[in-house]
Amino acid sequence: PRLRAAPRPCPAAGVSQVTVRDALNQALDEELERDERVFLLGEEVAQYDGAYKISRGLWKKYGDKRVIDTPISEMGFTGIAVGAAMAGLRPVCEFMTFNFSMQAIDQVINSAAKTCYMSAGSIAVPIVFRGPNGASAGVAAQHSQCFAAWYGHCPGLKVVSPWSSEDAKGLLKASVRDDNPVVMLENELLYGVPFEMSEQAQSKDFVVPIGKAKIERQGTHVTLVSHSRPVGHCLEAAAVLAKEGVECEVINLRTIRPMDIETVEASVVKTNHLVTVEGGWPQFGVGAEICARIMEGSAFNYLDAPAVRVTGADVPMPYAKILEDNCLPQVKDIIFAVKKTLNI
């Protein structure tokens, strides 16, 4: 008799597969349509439809005043965007990668992040700085840095880091509507990845609240905390470990600042073990902050083993693929860290 493939489960009603790229494009389209003060600027965002096609079709729909191609001068166009925000507009400023945001870090920190405080709340700077962050593939040291810890360090900024399409759309819409400067750290390797999105998540009213983590998988033995692309690695590691009887609780931070440490604490109280996972460097990283906050809080009393960090290697990113793979957290590294903390 012929072997038949097992039938695939039907997706729930209203659920469809949407790539992160399309989710971001939807969010920009909806916010440009909703509020005439919103505009997008950056290198190649208009006529070329964006270097990563995130802004595909928006220039044709909204025209030169709402979708603006800029010269290759991050310091210049970021300054223009911050000034426009101070004057009452709501710019979305795209960096072709966040590595180039260092050209404009004075504008992001000194001009945007500090102004509300320094003006005693009289000057708001409603602006979104967005673009791909962290390592792509084969782009070497000057294009692979994760800025989550850098920008998460600075008061006055909100910092979000999406993983799924739902994260990307909901966080971008929330960021555009926020009256504070928001840094949105996307991941280039996720742009083409499809995720299930519910009918609700695809509605024009859908937002993901800034500052709230999401439990992607329930578990009882160890807490895995991550953000951006490594969330997927954590879920893969959890699936492998489940076959060995280890149930991992996977937390998708979504927001780096303000950090939802309450969700992490509640999980640690339940599992008694903590592993953090990130693509950035180890020293002063996001995982280091999470470990310190757990150490300082009441959840520390529930830990049965030291918290373990899984991070990128403490070197500038090499170009060679085999070296690059060994510089970024892999599923096997997460499994090793979990077994280490559980002493198995």
* Residue 58 structure tokens: 């928006």
Q: For residue 257, what are the β-bridge partners? A: 159
Cβ neighbors of 116 (< 8 A, separation 6 or more) are 123, 124, 125, 156, 180
101 three-state secondary structure: helix
Closest CA to 182 of 144, 208, 215, 216: 208
- Which DSSP string do the residues of 302-340 spell out, in sequence order? G-SS--EEE---SSPPPSSHHHHHHHS--HHHHHHHHHH
* Residue 248 structure tokens: 């991992």
What letter does residue 90 receive in the DSSP assignment? E
Q: For residue 222, what are the β-bridge partners? A: 248
In degrees, rounded to 5, the angle at the alpha carbon of residue 260 between the alpha carbons of residues 214 and 288 is: 110
Residue 221 annotated to the active site: no
Residue 143 annotated to the active site: yes
Quote the CA–CA distance of 306 and 300 in Å, as a whole number.
Answer: 9
Annotated catalytic residue: which of 30, 31, 43, 74?
Answer: 74
239 three-state secondary structure: helix
Annotated catalytic residue: which of 43, 143, 188, 278?
Answer: 143
Catalytic residue annotation: 74, 143
